[in-house]
Amino acid sequence: MTHFQRFLGTDTKSRYEIFWIWGGVKTSPGVWGTEDLMILRNSCYLPNKNSEATQSMSGHRNIKRRCGDSHLESPVVCGHGPAAGCVLSKLVQLPTPPLSKHQLKRLEEHKYQSAGRSLLEPLMQGYWEWLVGRVPAWIAPNLITIIGLLINIFTTLLLVYYCPTATEQAPPWAYIACACGLFIYQSLDAIDGKQARRTNSSTPLGELFDHGCDSLSTVFVVLGTCVAVQLGTNPDWMFFCCFAGTFMFYCAHWQTYVSGTLRFGIFDVTESVLCTVAMQLLTGTLGPWFWNYTIPILNIQVKIFPALCTVAGTIFSCTNYFGVIFTGGVGKNGSTIAGTSVLSPFLHIGSVIALAAMIYKKSAVQLFERHPCLYILTFGFVSAKITNKLVVAHMTKSEMHLHDTAFIGPALLFLDQYFNSFIDEYIVLWIALILSLFDLLRYCVSVCNQIAAHLHIHVFRIKSSSAHSNHH
Residue 256, pLDDT > 60, answer yes
Q: What is the pLDDT of residue 227?
A: 97
Whole-prediction pTM value? 0.80
Computed from CA positions of residues 444, 445, 450, 451, in that sequence, does the dihedral angle turn out positive or negative?
A: positive
pLDDT digits (tens, 9 = 90+) for 401-427: 888 999 999 999 999 999 988 899 999
Q: Which of 71, 211, 348, 454 does the annotation list as catalytic?
A: 211
Lowest mean pLDDT among 80-89, 208-217, 447-456: 80-89
Q: What is the pLDDT of residue 107?
A: 92
Helix 346-362 × helix 408-418 angle, to 10°: 40
Lowest mean pLDDT among 153-167, 370-384, 412-426: 412-426
Mean pLDDT of 135-163: 96
Residue 253, pLDDT > 70, answer yes
pLDDT digits (tens, 9 = 90+) for 259-278: 999 998 888 899 999 999 99
| Cα maximum dimension of the chain | 91
53 neighbors 63 (Cβ within 8 angstroms): yes
Q: Where are the beta strands (DSSP E) in 240-392?
A: 262-263, 294-295, 300-301
Q: What is the pLDDT of residue 389?
A: 96
Each domain of the chain, given as residue ranges in start order, spans: 121-455
pLDDT digits (tens, 9 = 90+) for 324-370: 999 888 888 889 999 899 999 999 999 999 999 999 999 999 999 99
Could you please report the per-residue DSSP string of 42-90?
HHHH-GGG-HHHHHHSSGGGTTHHHH-STTTT-TTTTTT--HHHHHHHH
Q: Chain-wide mean pLDDT for the chain? A: 83
Decide if 102 is catalytic: no
